Chain A
Amino acid sequence: MIEVTGLTKDYGPRRAIDRLNFNAHKGEILGFLGPNGAGKTTTMRILAGYMPPTSGTAQIGGFDLIKNSIDIRRMTGYLPETVPLYNDMTVFDYLKYMADLRHMKNGDDQVEEAILKVDMKDRAHGYIGNLSKGMRQRVGLAQAILHNPEVLILDEPTIGLDPGQIIEVRKLIRDIGKTKTILLSTHILSEAQQICNRVLIINKGRIVVEDEPEKLQMRISGSHNILLRVSGSVDALIPFINKLKGITEINKHGDNTLEIKVSPSVDARPEIARAAIKNGFDLLELRASNISLEEIFLQLTHDDSMLASADRVNNAVEEE
């Protein structure tokens, strides 16, 4: 559905995105992750038809990004990062205006439907200027899904929503994602993990990694992590666990906790539990502690200069 090749955008001398290549298929939710300034918004703006790339191309639904811009915009829904809205209009009038610009036949009905989907029925005839941030976000989302688009581009869709709404909106996105193509950016990594079929981590305008969230975790850590907590000092237990099959590394966290790395092919938990009990330890906790997406993210996008400055701060704190 979306095929991006060599997409590049320069703002004057600054290169915001650098030769991006990626695809997204029908029925897929593709998540965009990356630190501030990585180029997520830039990529989405280009795909939504707001501005042309400096070089490179993209095809959406078989249409060329530049030659068939209008066709692409017709089949695409877009939620801009800043959620721009007209404060002097009511929610209904605004959505009706956007529906008219899309030449929608039964605009009124579809506007009503979109308002219901984002749960804004009780404020439909209130002015947008009087809405809270989260409500504005939902109006922006309604605008994006208004025409039931084949492709949905959402720039940080759940930012500013309350927990209940976050769950609702994620559900909505997942529903739409079953039959359409969705591209979304987020800073909430657990969100990407929950709703995206595939994530794409970009840093400084380049794609660092692209995979399914679970596979990514496996790939980066290369092993399962198991966390073991027992009563008493764990030192005596280490030799016994070391003897078990598939153990690659043991780290001690505090007095009574071990982090055990196991090769992915075996589930060593039963053996570990037995070893602990057999040797007279009370088992307090035993769980898989996979490397989180946060850690992957930091590992892949870390900036040496940033780490260095963080170290300097830490040292300064310790010296005091």
Chain B
Amino acid sequence: MKNTWTIAKREFNLFIISPIAYVVAFMLMLILGIIFFANMLIAFVNTYDPTVQFIIAPLVTLFLFSTPALTMRTIAEEHRSGTLETLLTAPVRDWELITGKWLGSFMFYLVVIALTWVFPIILNFFVDPGIDQGLLVSGYLGVTLLVGVFVAIGVMTSSIFNNQIAAFFATLGILLVFWMIAYPTQIAASGGGRSILSYLDLSQHFYNSFLIGIVAVKDIVYYLSVTVLALFLGTATIEARRWR
């Protein structure tokens, strides 16, 4: 457990000194800012009050696409450079390594999430009698849980590859599949298959609950389970690669 924290701290510091993290964070804030002001403008022109959903919905999409770029490095780079050999011959358990990598990246995202609070604060000045606090809290809770899932899947995928680019595309692929897995069933189909797919769908648990102000235990449990499962699979991958 102590090792998890040691590894997480190092991982977090790596983000702090790496240019790609700043580029990603900057682009994210920039795009979010543009979308935010565009939405504000549309809302005022059409004379209705903008809500925090205008911030949170695009934020989730931006995280969906940016996480792979930041998690691709985590394990793949240790593998490529050989430093994994030092880590795996130190008294560090495989799960401590994976959870440490996850926690460090997640902490960096918490900072980015905190930065985006500037938009709700701005919004609060423009609407009367202020923004809906409930929507804000449930939305950000959902975003935070989802980012935990994204990062866990990213770290898991990174443990499979030696190559960062391969890890990037594989993570993006996995995330997109689980983001849209229920989409086809909404158009056609019905019955059992549909409910299983929409249960597995990452976005359904967000758009139909956290985004509209519902905080349900089943959604929280779902996101936490997916995170734990991904970290477990990541650990199993490390373990399996030793045996090759």
Contact = CB atoms under 8 A, between A and B. Distances in A.
Interface of A: 11, 45, 48-52, 70, 73-74, 76, 78, 80, 82, 84-86, 88, 97-98, 100-103, 143
A73 B17 contact: no
A85 B83 contact: yes
27 contacts: A11-B244, A49-B88, A50-B85, A50-B242, A51-B243, A52-B242, A52-B243, A73-B89, A73-B90, A73-B91, A74-B91, A78-B86, A80-B85, A80-B86, A80-B89, A82-B82, A82-B85, A84-B81, A84-B83, A84-B84, A85-B83, A85-B86, A86-B83, A88-B17, A98-B90, A101-B7, A101-B87
Interface in B68-111: 81-93
Contacts of B21: none
B3 interface: yes
A76 B244 CA distance: 23
A98 B92 CA distance: 10
Interface residues of B, number: 23
Contacts of A48: 89
A98 B91 CA distance: 10
Given A51-B243, A88-B17, A102 B86 contact: no
A84 B242 contact: no
A88 B2 CA distance: 23
A98 B90 CA distance: 8
Q: Is the interface of B mostly helix, strand, loop or mixed?
A: helix
B3 to A, nearest CB: 6
Contacts of A82: 82, 85
A11 B243 CA distance: 9
Contacts of A45: 85, 89
A102 B14 contact: no
A101 B6 contact: yes
Nearest to A82: B82
Given A82-B85, A97-B10, A51 B93 contact: no
Given A50-B89, A84-B81, A102-B90, 4 more contacts: A50-B242, A52-B243, A73-B90, A86-B83
Contacts of B91: 70, 73-74, 101-103
The 8 closest A-B pairs by CB, nearest first: A84-B82, A84-B83, A74-B91, A48-B89, A73-B91, A100-B6, A51-B242, A78-B89
B14 A98 contact: no
B82 A80 contact: yes
A273 to B, nearest CB: 56
Contacts of B85: 45, 50, 80, 82, 84
A103 B7 CA distance: 12
A97 B83 contact: no
Contacts of A51: 242-244
Contacts of B14: 88
A76 B86 CA distance: 12
Given A50-B88, A78-B89, A101 B3 contact: yes
Nearest to B17: A88
A245 B242 CA distance: 61
Contacts of A85: 83, 86
Interface string B1-45: 011001100100010010000000000000000000000000000
A20 to B, nearest CB: 19
B178 to A, nearest CB: 32
Nearest to A98: B90
A103 B3 CA distance: 8
Given A70-B91, A73-B91, A84-B81, A143 B86 contact: yes
Contacts of A98: 86, 90
Interface hub of B85, B88, B90, B244 (most chain A Cβ within 10 A): B90
